[in-house]
Structure 1
Amino acid sequence: MPESRPLDALFRPTALIAVILGGEALALILALGPGQPSGGRLVQFGLASLGVQWIALGTLCAIYLARKPLSKLSATMTAWICLGLLLSMTALVSGAASRIPGIVGESPGEDAAFVWRMLALALVVGLLGLLSFQNYWRATSLAVLAKQSELDTLRARVQPHFLFNTLNTGAALVRQHPADAEQLLLDLADIFRAALAGPRFSGLDQELLLARRYLDIESLRFGDRLRTEWDLPDVVPDAVAPTLSIQPLVENAIRHGIEPAPQGGVVTIALAVTGRDVRVTVRNSLAPPGAAARNGHGIGQSAVRARLEALPGAPGRLETDIGADRYTATVVLPLADALSRL
């Protein structure tokens, strides 16, 4: 899965709303500027608003149409091309506006002066916009690095206690059930391959397979105390998930719901498609009152939530709910075909 590209951020709903509101603010400044007749400021605001929105939205449309070739260029070259598109759209719109009677004065040369003023204003606004976007993208990149460090922390957390428990289980199975011991080691290898050397993102089917491998291992350790239920379709929907986004939730379910309960419990993993999203639910029964509680530091869920929110294209999310006798964690991911329309 490729990294999120800087241009993708321009076409998110919040960015589009910011562009429209910023254009209205600029139109208001132009209407309230010196040299405008006090009685016609409302008309001037309407005309300025129309022109600014044509320029802003027209530039965004041009960038959107050219987003694929632009994504292959360096960030600096892309920024200059976007600024050039803004100036070109400004010249086109202001040139057309200068031909409309009553928009510009009738004195000779005023048409050209009007276009040049608009170009100068667009240049200033464009440079300020590039600086703001550069700061935004730098902050976003730092946030992604922070989330990657959380993944590294999560990977480090997966290793110690789980590895020791699994090896102890494998050692106990070697003589009496060698086939089970062999399968346990194969499942363990798959989990640690993903934890130590996996990419940042993987397919949802791979994440579910990793969770199944983990449950297979824990089933050997807990025996009849761990009961699992799967409610999955025959074909898993095409969706991208952060690496290690389902397995930590399954681990939490066992650690806090099954392990403290003397009689064990049930872990349910279900998948459902709702609109353009796919929802993966991990549900576990709660330990009875008085059972020894397992204290956690919350790295698992917080890391999963942070990396879901950093998904490229469209963010995912983690929803949690605790009931009278069960705890539910739901990973919500955008479907791949929904991402392709963005």
Structure 2
Amino acid sequence: MQSPLSNRRGALLYLLAWLFLGTALGGVCAALSPAPLPAALLLTIPATLVYGVAAGFSAHYLCRANPIGARAPALLVLMLAAAAVLAGFMWLAVLQGWNELCRGFGLGLDLTPELVALLFALGVLLYGLLAAVSYLATELGRVRTAQRRELESQLVAQEAELRMLRMQIDPHFLFNSLNSISALTSQDPRAARDMTLQLASFCRHSLALAARPKVTLEQEMTLIRHFIAIEKVRYGERLVAEEALEKGALACLVPPMIIQPLVENAVKHGIGQLPEGGLLLVAAWRDGARLRITVSNAVDPALPAGPGGGIGLANVRQRLACAYPNEASIARLREDDRYVVDIVLPAQTEQD
């Protein structure tokens, strides 16, 4: 917890509160004594401001040195009561000394026993109030610090989970690509060489974006084009890839490698199972504050619709849940000879 005068705005508000209290106390003193109001204000306002500063610092550091729970409650209450009584006597001494000085100029008050008792009780009460406020502010600060640390730990855990999920995709894709290269080595060495070069380009591009939590859809599509070029070496004319990308969607941010697993599934489990091949379509557009991305591919209509998903779809679903809690969704749909995966997530840009 910071001291009551630790910043300019806080100090100004604090002093204004004590100025108001000193003015009100001057009105009370003028009503209880035959002195005029200006004389009463001359006594109470300076003394109240001095007491407010001194008592504020005293209560602040006393409470910070004796936090709740560090001592027995009875001992803590006794210590604060003794400090409040001592502060009350000190305030009374300041008031009486300042009053004697003012009386030398004919402006002092006649401090009756009733007025002295009132001022003493008020000093004790104000110190106790300052101590209570200090403890309350300390506990609120501790709660906020605990909440901030919990949030930071959640963010660290979330980032670690995202990295783990992203690392899960990379080996999965590389193993499949290396298996394809191995199969082509004996059948078509030239195609295997082309596929190796495409794979190297893909890895260079993906490593450049790996450290970033989000990339633009345009950058993600560059990765997709590298991947499709790799797959076209193996499938040739059987793989027909098209894009339908709205210009406004290309600037939106997405987690890196979020579309590639879906495209890989579309090629491996969809078009790769068709002797004549088929169409792979990646579409994206903005729908208000949402970004929609669909990956659709041809499938054999004679084959029954399986449970679907696998590692790729499960990985994408978990990454979306981590990156956009309760704000993103992914759905899949089988339409006769087409299989569609639909992603909906917030439309965010680097300017946002």
Length-normalised TM-score, structure 2: 0.57
Report the RMSD for the aligned CA atoms in angstroms: 4.0
Where in structure 2 are the equivalents of 1:93-242 lying within 5 Å?
108-109=122-123, 110=125, 113-169=128-184, 172-174=187-189, 183-194=194-205, 198-201=210-213, 202-233=215-246, 237-242=250-255
Shift of 1:259: 2.2
Where in structure 2 are the equivalents of 1:1-342 lying within 5 Å?
108-109=122-123, 110=125, 113-169=128-184, 172-174=187-189, 183-194=194-205, 198-201=210-213, 202-233=215-246, 237-290=250-303, 298-311=310-323, 317-325=328-336, 326-330=339-343, 332-337=345-350, 339=352
- Aligned partners of 2:280 and 2:297 also within 8 Å: yes
SS at match of 1:133: helix
CA distance in 2, matches of 1:298, 1:171: 30
Cα distance change on mapping 1:206 and 1:154 into 2, 3 Å: same
Cα distance change on mapping 1:233 and 1:292 into 2, 3 Å: closer
Letter in structure 2 aligned against 1:265 = G
- Aligned partners of 1:253 and 1:267 also within 8 Å: yes
CA distance in 1, matches of 2:16, 2:333: 61
Mind listing any 5+ residue stretches in structure 2 that lack a counterpart? 29-117
Mind listing any 5+ residue stretches in structure 1 that lack a counterpart? 1-79
Letter in structure 1 aligned against 2:150 = N
Shift of 1:311: 3.9
Shift of 1:150: 2.0
Letter in structure 1 aligned against 2:144 = G
CA distance in 2, matches of 1:300, 1:250: 9
- Aligned partners of 1:90 and 1:118 also within 8 Å: no
Letter in structure 2 aligned against 1:186 = L
CA distance in 1, matches of 2:126, 2:206: 64
- Aligned partners of 2:305 and 2:334 also within 8 Å: no
- Aligned partners of 1:170 and 1:184 also within 8 Å: no
Cα distance change on mapping 1:328 and 1:307 into 2, 3 Å: closer
The percentage of aligned residue pairs carrying the same residue is 25
Shift of 1:194: 4.8
Cα distance change on mapping 1:260 and 1:335 into 2, 3 Å: same
CA distance in 2, matches of 1:304, 1:290: 25
Show CA shifts across 1:274-309 (max 9, x none).
33443332122333233797x877332232233334
- Aligned partners of 1:199 and 1:243 also within 8 Å: no
Bigger radius of gyration: 2
Shift of 1:247: 0.7
Cα distance change on mapping 1:334 and 1:166 into 2, 3 Å: farther
Equivalenced residues, count: 250
Cα distance change on mapping 1:169 and 1:90 into 2, 3 Å: farther
CA distance in 2, matches of 1:189, 1:99: 74
Shift of 1:230: 0.8
CA distance in 1, matches of 2:245, 2:298: 19
Letter in structure 2 aligned against 1:319 = I
Cα distance change on mapping 1:121 and 1:234 into 2, 3 Å: closer
Shift of 1:210: 0.8
CA distance in 2, matches of 1:84, 1:248: 55
Shift of 1:225: 3.0
CA distance in 1, matches of 2:3, 2:181: 60
Show CA shifts across 1:239-286 (max 9, x none).
333221111110112223222334433211112123344333212233
CA distance in 2, matches of 1:126, 1:119: 10
